[in-house]
């Protein structure tokens, strides 16, 4: 058999008496998937199996009897060399894995001593190594952007925390963590699709890694959340860096033939000020980012303790929202609105309250931000519509006339799909006329998507539901778009009303607003009226109605009923 003769090792020329492996043993050795070779005490090859031949890419006939180190001079001094020498000298087995550059291969070798020299078993572990490296890369990197992932980020942060603790240095410079969160990325994703969203994330990551010192580590730790680590910095230097970064990131991205702009909010935490753990450090940066976001996005904030307390409260509230809905802890208070002409009630504004089991009755400023950013934003609309209609039906049963009830909606609530139909459905359920309902929205609500807002307002009008523009004068105050909006009532913001008693200019502005509203066919209600002086000015300006503490504070349902009875 050819294979048999082929596999029989040639007798080395002067290697002393050596038994060629018996045919069946040679067969067996040749069938091994491991390389197998014997080397005598003078470092000459005495046997190589078929696999060894293949691994070494040399014909074994050319190697047998020759000096190992002459055949493979690059091995001299290498790790393999040391292991073979050691095994030969001590008689103990050796093991070593190394890269052998001339063959471009990783070999794992095991060497065993015997009387005549050593035997070496070796495997090509190149694939395994590459696979392991790949796995390691995948386990520590984000597939989309190639940046480090959350796991890797925690590893690096932990190391930084440990190093800072062991060095115990108290000087000013510190490492800083920047927590970067894209603003409105969900909307971008919804508008352009996930493919473009992914491309934007990749582009964003590329910009992050392109920035030079002092950032030395970048990771993507969540959908649109990134972390940068800065070395040897101070709070003010880190803030300056973050501001510059926001500038860089603001330049539009070109994706699939479109130009898309992104903005981000950045929170900063200094390692020096968050001793303890990597989690604490990241949480601090996250909390600071959250604060940056709530103070209007496209902002930078550094962490401080007060912020942490505020954050903890917000988080706690967020956790309690479900319970609040389930246990019916929300309620409505109503603030009457009075016509300036004859003092009669024109309606009431429904204002949300949370009867919190531990913290008592909460007004919206304590929880509305959290609620509107939570998954319960939509549930609130349902609850609100039902509650308002229920109260109207109850007053009707008591023969109490409340001409109209206004309810407040956020931008997203206003633009949510099917709003008008939902209002009509619920109103019908309680046999409430749509004309008894008024929807209050703020200016920022409208400018975010003026086309869509206009069409929703028109639909509401069509359905017989009236609309009010809330806090007019406190926001964008662009009079231009006002002309095009189908709005019934303009609510003059309390900041104007407050200024009335103090400045001539405020009177002039209010006259202007009332005049404009009238020419557009809108009514006006002044908010936050607290004194007689303001009433006189408002009457003078031609304002239609008022709402404020002077007339009444917001009242619970029963108190409002009594108030209305007294008026009638
Ligand atoms: P807003 O719509 O401007 O409501 C008027 C706020 O001014 C109410 O505060 C009211 O209590 C207060 N106020 C009334 N009269 C006076 C006064 O004479 N002087 C002063 N200084 N303040 C007065 P509240 O109830 O705390 O509501 C705060 C904001 O929360 C509301 O401002 C509204 O934007 C929002 N909000 C209230 N209820 C809801 C709701 O059901 N849904 C939504 N989306 N937002 C709501
Ligand atoms: Ca309002
Ligand atoms: Ca208002």
Domain boundary among 101, 125, 149: 125
Phi, psi of 470 (to 5 degrees): -85, 155
Judge whether residue 464 has pLDDT over 80: yes
Cβ(512)–Cβ(496) below 8 Å: no
Q: What does the pLDDT look like over 293-318, one tens digit per residue?
A: 877 778 888 888 667 677 777 778 88
Ligand 1: residue whose CA is nearest its atom 28: 364
pLDDT surpassing 60 at residue 14: no
Closest atom of ligand 1 to CA, residue 352: 38
Residues 340 and 481 in one domain: yes
* Gap from CA of 418 to ligand 2 centroid (Å): 22
Q: Are residues 198 and 90 in the same domain?
A: no
Based on the fold, state whether residues 458 and 549 are members of the same structural domain.
Answer: yes
- Quote the DSSP letter at residue 555: B
Q: Which residues contact 530 (CB under 8 A, 6 or more apart)?
A: 497, 498, 548, 549, 550
Residues 165-196: tens digit of each pLDDT? 777 655 567 889 999 999 888 888 878 888 88
Residue 106 sits in the same domain as residue 147: no
Average pLDDT over residues 65-88: 92
Query: For position 137, what pLDDT does the model report?
Result: 75
pLDDT tens digit sequence for 233-250: 888 999 999 998 888 888
Where a domain ends, among 274, 304, 334?
Answer: 304
Structure-token pair, residue 14: 């002067």
Assign 2 a pLDDT band (cuts: 50, 70, 90). Answer: very low
Strands 437-442 and 405-408: parallel
Helix, coil or strand: residue 359: coil
Considering the domain architecture, whether residues 400 and 547 belong to the same structural domain is answered as: yes
Residues 151 and 110 in one domain: no
Ligand nearest to the Cα of 445, by number: 1
Whether 430 is in a domain gets the answer yes
270 and 415: one domain? no
Query: Is the pLDDT confidence value at 6 over 70?
Result: no
Contact 372, 388 (CB under 8 A): no
Query: Count of domains in the chain?
Result: 3
Q: Do residue 54 and residue 108 come from a single domain?
A: yes
Q: Is residue 18 part of a domain?
A: no
Whether the pLDDT of residue 41 is over 50: the answer is yes
Cβ proximity of 457 and 411 under 8 Å = no
Query: pLDDT value at position 277?
Result: 83
Which of 304, 336, 364 represents a domain boundary (last residue)?
Answer: 304
pLDDT, tens digit, 9 for 90 and up, residues 544-567? 999 999 999 999 999 999 999 998
Q: Do 151 and 225 have their domain in common?
A: yes
- Here the CATH number for the domain that contains residue 265 is 3.30.70.270
Q: How far is CA 296 from CA 89, 260, 372, 374, 467, in A?
A: 74, 20, 15, 17, 26
- C-beta 470 within 6 A of ligand 1: yes
* CA of 406 relative to ligand 1 center, distance in Å: 11
Task: Tell me which of 477 and 365 has the higher pLDDT.
Answer: 365
DSSP designation for 471: E
In a domain, 77, yes or no: yes
Distances (CA, A) of 306 to 302, 303, 312, 318: 11, 9, 10, 18
Give the pLDDT of residue 172: 64
Judge if 355 and 219 occupy the same domain.
no
Judge if 441 and 526 occupy the same domain: yes
Strand partners, 39: 45, 118
Structural domain contains residue 130: no
Cβ distance 108 to 120 under 8 Å?
A: no
Cβ 336 under 6 angstroms from ligand 1: no
**Cα–Cα distance for residue pair 359/324, rounded to 1 Å:** 13
Question: At residue 106, does pLDDT exceed 80?
Answer: yes
Residue ranges making up the domain that contains 282? 141-304
pLDDT digits (tens, 9 = 90+) for 120-157: 989 888 888 887 777 777 777 888 898 998 888 998 99
pLDDT at 163: 84
CB 541 within 8 A of CB 378: no
Claim to verify: residue 209 and residue 236 sit in the same structural domain:
yes
In a domain, 264, yes or no: yes
Return the H-helix or E-strand segment holding 19. none
User: Is residue 7 pLDDT above 70, yes or no?
Assistant: no
Whole-structure pTM value: 0.57
């Amino acid at each position: 058999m050819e294979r048999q003769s082929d596999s029989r090792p040639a007798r080395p020329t002067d290697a002393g008496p050596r038994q060629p492996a018996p045919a069946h043993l040679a067969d067996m050795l040749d069938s091994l998937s491991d390389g197998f070779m014997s080397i005598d005490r003078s470092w000459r090859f005495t046997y190589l199996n078929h696999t060894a031949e293949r691994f070494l890419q040399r014909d074994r006939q050319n190697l047998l009897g020759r000096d190992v180190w002459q055949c493979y001079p690059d091995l001299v001094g290498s790790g393999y060399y040391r292991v073979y020498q050691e095994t030969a000298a001590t008689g103990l087995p050796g093991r070593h894995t190394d890269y052998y550059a001339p063959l471009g291969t990783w070999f794992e070798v095991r060497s065993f001593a015997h009387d005549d020299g050593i035997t070496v078993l070796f495997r090509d572990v190149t694939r395994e190594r590459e696979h392991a490296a790949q796995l390691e890369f995948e386990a520590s990197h984000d597939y989309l952007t190639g940046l480090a992932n959350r796991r890797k980020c925690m590893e690096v942060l932990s190391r930084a925390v440990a190093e800072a603790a062991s060095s115990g240095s108290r000087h000013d410079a510190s490492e800083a963590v920047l927590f970067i969160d894209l603003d409105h990325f969900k909307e971008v994703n919804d508008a352009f699709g996930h493919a473009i969203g992914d491309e934007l994330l990749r582009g964003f990551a590329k910009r992050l890694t392109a920035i030079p010192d002092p950032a030395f580590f970048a990771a993507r730790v969540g959908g649109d959340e990134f972390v940068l680590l800065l070395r040897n910095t101070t709070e003010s230097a880190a803030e300056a860096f973050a501001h510059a970064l926001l500038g860089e990131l603001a330049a539009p991205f070109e994706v699939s033939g479109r130009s898309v702009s992104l903005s981000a909010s950045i929170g900063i935490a200094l390692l020096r000020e968050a001793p303890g753990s990597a989690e604490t450090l990241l949480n601090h940066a996250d909390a600071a980012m959250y604060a940056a976001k709530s103070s209007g996005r496209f902002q930078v904030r550094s962490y401080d303790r007060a912020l942490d307390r505020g954050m903890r409260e917000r988080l706690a509230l967020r956790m309690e929202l479900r319970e609040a809905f389930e246990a019916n802890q929300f309620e409505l208070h109503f603030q009457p609105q009075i016509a300036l002409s004859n003092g009669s009630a024109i309606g009431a504004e429904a204002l949300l309250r949370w009867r919190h089991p531990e913290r008592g009755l909460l007004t919206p400023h304590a929880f509305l931000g959290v609620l509107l950013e939570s998954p319960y934003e939509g549930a609130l609309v349902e609850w609100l519509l039902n509650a308002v209609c229920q109260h109207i039906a109850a007053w009707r049963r008591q023969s109490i006339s409340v001409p109209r009830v206004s309810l407040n909606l956020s931008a997203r609530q206003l633009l949510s799909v099917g709003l008008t139909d939902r209002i009509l459905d619920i109103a019908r359920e309680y046999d409430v006329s749509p004309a008894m309902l008024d929807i209050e929205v703020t200016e920022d609500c409208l400018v975010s998507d003026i086309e869509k807002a206009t069409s929703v307002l028109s639909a509401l009008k069509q359905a017989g539901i009236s609309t009010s523009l809330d806090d007019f004068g406190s926001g964008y105050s662009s009079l231009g778009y006002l002309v095009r909006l189908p709005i019934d009532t303009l609510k003059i913001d309390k900041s104007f009303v407050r200024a009335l008693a103090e400045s001539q200019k405020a009177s002039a502005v209010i006259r202007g607003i009332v005049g404009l509203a009238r020419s557009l066919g809108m009514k006006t209600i002044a908010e936050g009226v607290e004194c007689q002086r303001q009433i006189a000015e408002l009457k003078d300006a031609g304002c239609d109605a008022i709402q404020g503490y002077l007339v009444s504070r917001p009242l619970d349902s029963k108190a409002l009923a009594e108030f209305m009875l007294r008026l009638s």
